[in-house]
Amino acid sequence: MSYSRWQGKSQDPEQLHPDDPYLSSKAVTKEDVITLKDDWLTDNVIAFWEEYLEREYLANYHFSNIVLLRPSMSFMLIQTPNPETLREALPNFAKTTHIFLPINDCRNPSVAEGGSHWSLVLVSIADGVAFHYDSLNPANRDEAVTTTKKLGTLLGRDFQFLDLPDSPQQENSSDCGVFVCVQMKHLLLKKLMRADKEQKVSMSMGGKHIDASHGRKAMLEVIDGFRKVGESRRSSVLRITVTSHEVLTGANALKEILEPAKVRFQKPTPSRLTIDLPGSDCPSPIPVSIV
Protein backbone atom coordinates (compact mmCIF):
# COMPACT_ATOMS: atom_id res chain seq x y z
CA MET A 1 0.00 0.00 0.00
CA SER A 2 1.36 3.43 -0.86
CA TYR A 3 0.37 6.91 0.24
CA SER A 4 1.00 10.16 -1.60
CA ARG A 5 -0.13 13.78 -1.37
CA TRP A 6 -0.52 16.07 -4.34
CA GLN A 7 -1.54 19.67 -4.61
CA GLY A 8 -4.51 20.76 -6.66
CA LYS A 9 -4.95 24.18 -8.21
CA SER A 10 -5.10 26.94 -5.58
CA GLN A 11 -7.81 29.56 -5.61
CA ASP A 12 -6.59 32.86 -7.02
CA PRO A 13 -7.10 35.54 -4.34
CA GLU A 14 -7.67 38.11 -7.10
CA GLN A 15 -10.86 36.24 -8.08
CA LEU A 16 -12.37 36.48 -4.59
CA HIS A 17 -15.48 38.58 -3.95
CA PRO A 18 -14.75 41.46 -1.51
CA ASP A 19 -16.76 39.71 1.21
CA ASP A 20 -15.29 36.22 0.66
CA PRO A 21 -13.01 34.88 3.44
CA TYR A 22 -9.38 35.47 2.53
CA LEU A 23 -8.30 32.75 4.96
CA SER A 24 -9.79 29.34 5.63
CA SER A 25 -10.05 29.71 9.41
CA LYS A 26 -9.77 33.45 10.05
CA ALA A 27 -12.45 36.07 9.35
CA VAL A 28 -10.29 38.19 7.04
CA THR A 29 -11.77 39.03 3.65
CA LYS A 30 -10.19 40.31 0.47
CA GLU A 31 -11.60 43.75 1.28
CA ASP A 32 -9.80 43.66 4.66
CA VAL A 33 -6.54 42.82 2.91
CA ILE A 34 -7.01 45.68 0.45
CA THR A 35 -7.39 48.14 3.33
CA LEU A 36 -4.24 46.77 4.93
CA LYS A 37 -2.25 47.65 1.83
CA ASP A 38 -2.81 51.40 1.99
CA ASP A 39 -5.96 52.35 3.87
CA TRP A 40 -7.60 52.62 7.30
CA LEU A 41 -7.52 49.21 9.03
CA THR A 42 -10.81 47.39 9.64
CA ASP A 43 -11.91 45.71 12.87
CA ASN A 44 -11.30 42.33 11.25
CA VAL A 45 -7.63 43.03 10.57
CA ILE A 46 -6.96 44.21 14.13
CA ALA A 47 -8.89 41.24 15.56
CA PHE A 48 -6.89 38.89 13.34
CA TRP A 49 -3.63 40.46 14.55
CA GLU A 50 -4.67 39.96 18.17
CA GLU A 51 -5.49 36.29 17.52
CA TYR A 52 -2.14 35.89 15.76
CA LEU A 53 -0.27 37.33 18.77
CA GLU A 54 -2.22 35.06 21.11
CA ARG A 55 -1.56 31.86 19.17
CA GLU A 56 2.01 32.52 18.08
CA TYR A 57 3.37 34.16 21.23
CA LEU A 58 1.07 34.21 24.25
CA ALA A 59 0.34 30.48 23.88
CA ASN A 60 4.01 29.79 24.63
CA TYR A 61 3.78 31.61 27.96
CA HIS A 62 1.46 29.37 29.94
CA PHE A 63 1.65 31.52 33.08
CA SER A 64 0.79 34.81 31.39
CA ASN A 65 -2.59 36.33 32.18
CA ILE A 66 -2.80 38.94 29.44
CA VAL A 67 -6.01 39.62 27.53
CA LEU A 68 -6.13 41.13 24.04
CA LEU A 69 -9.69 42.43 23.90
CA ARG A 70 -11.19 42.48 20.41
CA PRO A 71 -12.22 45.82 18.86
CA SER A 72 -15.89 44.80 18.94
CA MET A 73 -15.70 44.17 22.68
CA SER A 74 -13.94 47.48 23.34
CA PHE A 75 -16.61 49.25 21.29
CA MET A 76 -19.41 47.51 23.21
CA LEU A 77 -17.75 48.55 26.45
CA ILE A 78 -17.71 52.23 25.54
CA GLN A 79 -21.25 52.20 24.09
CA THR A 80 -23.02 50.29 26.87
CA PRO A 81 -24.43 52.50 29.67
CA ASN A 82 -24.08 49.74 32.26
CA PRO A 83 -20.93 47.66 31.67
CA GLU A 84 -22.18 45.07 34.16
CA THR A 85 -24.53 43.84 31.44
CA LEU A 86 -21.50 42.77 29.39
CA ARG A 87 -19.98 40.56 32.07
CA GLU A 88 -21.13 37.32 30.44
CA ALA A 89 -19.90 38.41 26.99
CA LEU A 90 -16.42 39.48 28.14
CA PRO A 91 -13.54 37.24 29.26
CA ASN A 92 -13.15 36.34 32.92
CA PHE A 93 -10.69 38.92 34.24
CA ALA A 94 -10.30 37.33 37.69
CA LYS A 95 -6.63 36.40 37.14
CA THR A 96 -5.81 38.93 34.41
CA THR A 97 -2.80 41.21 34.92
CA HIS A 98 -3.01 43.30 31.72
CA ILE A 99 -5.66 44.12 29.12
CA PHE A 100 -5.07 45.56 25.64
CA LEU A 101 -8.03 47.52 24.22
CA PRO A 102 -8.12 48.95 20.66
CA ILE A 103 -10.07 52.22 20.86
CA ASN A 104 -12.23 53.54 18.02
CA ASP A 105 -13.78 57.02 17.87
CA CYS A 106 -17.02 55.84 16.26
CA ARG A 107 -20.05 57.37 18.02
CA ASN A 108 -22.79 55.62 16.02
CA PRO A 109 -23.18 51.90 16.82
CA SER A 110 -25.44 51.41 13.78
CA VAL A 111 -22.64 52.24 11.33
CA ALA A 112 -20.52 49.25 10.31
CA GLU A 113 -16.78 49.97 10.29
CA GLY A 114 -17.55 53.49 11.51
CA GLY A 115 -15.16 55.97 13.03
CA SER A 116 -12.01 57.53 11.64
CA HIS A 117 -9.27 56.85 14.19
CA TRP A 118 -7.73 54.02 16.24
CA SER A 119 -5.67 54.27 19.41
CA LEU A 120 -4.58 51.77 22.06
CA VAL A 121 -5.21 51.47 25.78
CA LEU A 122 -3.13 49.10 27.90
CA VAL A 123 -4.54 48.54 31.36
CA SER A 124 -2.22 47.21 34.05
CA ILE A 125 -4.62 45.78 36.60
CA ALA A 126 -1.74 44.90 38.90
CA ASP A 127 -0.58 48.54 39.00
CA GLY A 128 -3.99 50.19 38.69
CA VAL A 129 -2.90 52.21 35.66
CA ALA A 130 -4.30 52.64 32.14
CA PHE A 131 -1.77 53.77 29.49
CA HIS A 132 -3.08 55.47 26.35
CA TYR A 133 -1.08 55.37 23.09
CA ASP A 134 -2.50 57.73 20.47
CA SER A 135 -0.70 58.33 17.18
CA LEU A 136 -2.76 61.52 16.64
CA ASN A 137 -2.63 62.66 20.24
CA PRO A 138 -5.00 63.70 21.78
CA ALA A 139 -7.64 62.68 19.19
CA ASN A 140 -9.04 59.66 21.08
CA ARG A 141 -8.49 60.85 24.63
CA ASP A 142 -12.18 61.15 25.53
CA GLU A 143 -12.99 57.68 24.17
CA ALA A 144 -10.01 56.19 25.98
CA VAL A 145 -10.97 57.82 29.29
CA THR A 146 -14.56 56.62 28.97
CA THR A 147 -13.48 53.06 28.15
CA THR A 148 -11.11 53.03 31.12
CA LYS A 149 -13.86 54.19 33.48
CA LYS A 150 -16.29 51.57 32.13
CA LEU A 151 -13.70 48.83 32.60
CA GLY A 152 -13.02 50.09 36.11
CA THR A 153 -16.73 49.87 36.92
CA LEU A 154 -16.84 46.32 35.61
CA LEU A 155 -13.79 45.28 37.64
CA GLY A 156 -14.64 47.29 40.75
CA ARG A 157 -11.41 49.29 40.42
CA ASP A 158 -10.37 52.90 39.88
CA PHE A 159 -7.58 53.14 37.31
CA GLN A 160 -5.18 56.05 37.00
CA PHE A 161 -5.36 57.24 33.38
CA LEU A 162 -2.05 58.17 31.77
CA ASP A 163 -2.16 59.76 28.33
CA LEU A 164 1.34 59.29 26.86
CA PRO A 165 2.14 62.32 24.68
CA ASP A 166 5.52 60.85 23.68
CA SER A 167 3.84 58.03 21.75
CA PRO A 168 5.01 57.72 18.12
CA GLN A 169 2.95 59.94 15.82
CA GLN A 170 1.66 59.03 12.36
CA GLU A 171 2.38 61.18 9.32
CA ASN A 172 -0.93 60.70 7.50
CA SER A 173 -4.61 60.02 8.21
CA SER A 174 -4.69 56.27 7.57
CA ASP A 175 -1.88 54.61 9.57
CA CYS A 176 -3.52 54.70 13.01
CA GLY A 177 -4.58 51.03 12.95
CA VAL A 178 -1.11 49.94 11.90
CA PHE A 179 0.36 51.92 14.79
CA VAL A 180 -2.03 50.15 17.18
CA CYS A 181 -0.97 46.70 15.91
CA VAL A 182 2.76 47.44 15.88
CA GLN A 183 2.65 49.01 19.35
CA MET A 184 0.61 46.12 20.71
CA LYS A 185 3.22 43.61 19.54
CA HIS A 186 6.11 45.73 20.85
CA LEU A 187 4.55 46.28 24.28
CA LEU A 188 3.64 42.61 24.55
CA LEU A 189 6.92 41.06 23.38
CA LYS A 190 9.50 43.69 24.31
CA LYS A 191 7.99 44.92 27.57
CA LEU A 192 5.53 42.64 29.35
CA MET A 193 6.81 39.22 28.32
CA ARG A 194 10.42 40.12 29.10
CA ALA A 195 9.78 41.46 32.57
CA ASP A 196 10.24 39.57 35.82
CA LYS A 197 7.32 39.55 38.25
CA GLU A 198 9.06 41.96 40.61
CA GLN A 199 10.57 44.13 37.88
CA LYS A 200 9.18 47.58 37.12
CA VAL A 201 9.03 48.21 33.38
CA SER A 202 8.62 51.54 31.63
CA MET A 203 5.57 51.34 29.36
CA SER A 204 6.51 54.46 27.44
CA MET A 205 6.89 54.23 23.66
CA GLY A 206 8.94 57.42 23.63
CA GLY A 207 11.79 57.28 21.12
CA LYS A 208 10.31 54.23 19.36
CA HIS A 209 10.14 54.77 15.60
CA ILE A 210 7.28 53.04 13.78
CA ASP A 211 7.63 52.44 10.06
CA ALA A 212 4.01 52.06 8.99
CA SER A 213 4.90 50.78 5.51
CA HIS A 214 7.05 48.06 7.01
CA GLY A 215 4.28 47.27 9.51
CA ARG A 216 1.72 46.86 6.73
CA LYS A 217 4.08 44.64 4.76
CA ALA A 218 4.81 42.44 7.79
CA MET A 219 1.11 42.00 8.56
CA LEU A 220 0.33 41.17 4.92
CA GLU A 221 3.06 38.54 4.96
CA VAL A 222 1.55 36.92 8.06
CA ILE A 223 -1.93 36.87 6.51
CA ASP A 224 -0.62 35.57 3.20
CA GLY A 225 1.24 32.82 5.06
CA PHE A 226 -1.99 31.66 6.68
CA ARG A 227 -3.78 31.87 3.33
CA LYS A 228 -1.22 29.61 1.66
CA VAL A 229 -1.44 27.07 4.48
CA GLY A 230 -5.23 27.10 4.19
CA GLU A 231 -5.11 26.63 0.41
CA SER A 232 -2.64 23.78 0.81
CA ARG A 233 -5.00 22.00 3.18
CA ARG A 234 -8.06 22.59 1.01
CA SER A 235 -6.36 21.36 -2.17
CA SER A 236 -4.47 18.45 -0.63
CA VAL A 237 -5.72 15.00 -1.65
CA LEU A 238 -4.72 11.71 -0.07
CA ARG A 239 -4.33 8.93 -2.62
CA ILE A 240 -4.08 5.34 -1.39
CA THR A 241 -3.06 2.62 -3.83
CA VAL A 242 -3.43 -1.08 -3.08
CA THR A 243 -2.29 -3.85 -5.41
CA SER A 244 -4.85 -6.66 -5.56
CA HIS A 245 -6.04 -9.37 -7.96
CA GLU A 246 -9.49 -9.43 -6.38
CA VAL A 247 -10.55 -5.79 -6.58
CA LEU A 248 -14.28 -6.54 -6.89
CA THR A 249 -14.20 -8.83 -3.86
CA GLY A 250 -12.27 -6.21 -1.97
CA ALA A 251 -14.72 -3.53 -3.09
CA ASN A 252 -17.67 -5.41 -1.67
CA ALA A 253 -15.87 -5.94 1.62
CA LEU A 254 -14.89 -2.27 1.87
CA LYS A 255 -18.40 -1.19 0.99
CA GLU A 256 -19.87 -3.21 3.86
CA ILE A 257 -17.37 -1.72 6.29
CA LEU A 258 -17.40 1.90 5.15
CA GLU A 259 -20.99 2.57 4.07
CA PRO A 260 -22.15 3.11 7.67
CA ALA A 261 -19.63 5.96 7.85
CA LYS A 262 -21.33 7.59 4.82
CA VAL A 263 -18.40 6.93 2.50
CA ARG A 264 -19.54 7.17 -1.13
CA PHE A 265 -18.46 4.65 -3.77
CA GLN A 266 -18.06 5.01 -7.47
CA LYS A 267 -18.92 1.97 -9.62
CA PRO A 268 -15.94 -0.43 -9.44
CA THR A 269 -14.24 -1.91 -12.49
CA PRO A 270 -12.17 -5.10 -12.61
CA SER A 271 -9.00 -3.05 -12.15
CA ARG A 272 -9.96 0.03 -10.15
CA LEU A 273 -12.13 1.07 -7.24
CA THR A 274 -12.59 4.74 -6.30
CA ILE A 275 -14.32 5.92 -3.13
CA ASP A 276 -14.95 9.38 -1.67
CA LEU A 277 -13.57 9.50 1.84
CA PRO A 278 -14.28 12.61 3.96
CA GLY A 279 -11.21 14.02 5.68
CA SER A 280 -10.45 16.52 8.43
CA ASP A 281 -7.94 18.70 6.59
CA CYS A 282 -9.87 19.37 3.41
CA PRO A 283 -13.46 19.39 2.22
CA SER A 284 -15.04 16.05 1.40
CA PRO A 285 -14.95 14.13 -0.81
CA ILE A 286 -11.35 12.94 -1.00
CA PRO A 287 -10.84 10.47 -3.86
CA VAL A 288 -9.17 7.24 -2.79
CA SER A 289 -8.19 4.77 -5.49
CA ILE A 290 -7.54 1.05 -5.07
CA VAL A 291 -5.99 -0.63 -8.11
Alpha-carbon 190 to chain mean position:
20
Q: What does the buried/exposed string (b/e) look like for 126-161 if buried means 16 or more CB atoms within 10 Å of the residue's CB?
A: eeeebbbbbbbbebbeebbbebbbbbbebbeeebeb
Query: Does pTM surpass 0.75?
Result: no
In total, the chain counts a number of residues equal to 291
pLDDT digits (tens, 9 = 90+) for 198-230: 678 899 999 999 999 999 999 999 999 888 876
Whether the link from the prior residue into 18 is cis, omega within 30° of 0, is no
Average pLDDT across the chain, whole number:
79
Q: Annotated active-site positions, please?
A: 117, 134, 176
Contact assessment for residue 144 and residue 119, using Cβ atoms and an 8 Å cutoff: yes
Share of the chain residues as helix, strand and coil, in percent rounded to the nearest 5: 40, 15, 45
β-bridge partners, 98? 66, 124
pLDDT digits (tens, 9 = 90+) for 101-156: 999 999 877 665 678 999 999 999 989 999 999 999 999 999 999 999 999 999 99
pLDDT digits (tens, 9 = 90+) for 174-198: 999 999 999 999 999 999 988 776 6
DSSP codes of every residue in 142-176: HHHHHHHHHHHHHHT--PEEEE-TTS---SSSS-H
DSSP structure class, residue 113: T
How many angstroms separate the CA atoms of 288 and 237, rounded?
9
DSSP codes of every residue in 55-87: HHTGGG-TT--EEE--HHHHHHHHH-S-GGGGT
